[in-house]
Structure 1
Amino acid sequence: GAEGKGMRRLTREHCDFLVKLPMAGSVSSLNVSVATGVCLFEVVRQRSVSK
């Protein structure tokens, strides 16, 4: 959200993995709680499709 240039290099290096969410329209960023909700929704969606 508030990172104009994205995450700092050292922050990225400490991550086990990174996720990018495609953004449509005029939205340029999401706060962490909204981004988490979007990711969890997709995880549940994919798991329910595979059953």
Structure 2
Amino acid sequence: MEKLKVISAKQLAVSMGVSISTAERYLKDVKQEYQIKIVCLDHINQYFKISAKN
């Protein structure tokens, strides 16, 4: 269920260590790439090819 968590620009900025404006651009890019309106944590992981495996 955590993969379906909606992520905000502020949350993304804090977790990635970037500015909020940069995080907003990342969210915009993800929305365009996947043609979606709401970005979930799983979309971020796929876009940046982050493996959540332990």
Band the TM-score falls in, shorter-chain normalisation: 0.3 to 0.5
TM-score, structure 2 normalization = 0.37
Greater CA radius of gyration, 1 or 2?
A: 1
TM-score, structure 1 normalization = 0.39
Bigger helix fraction:
2
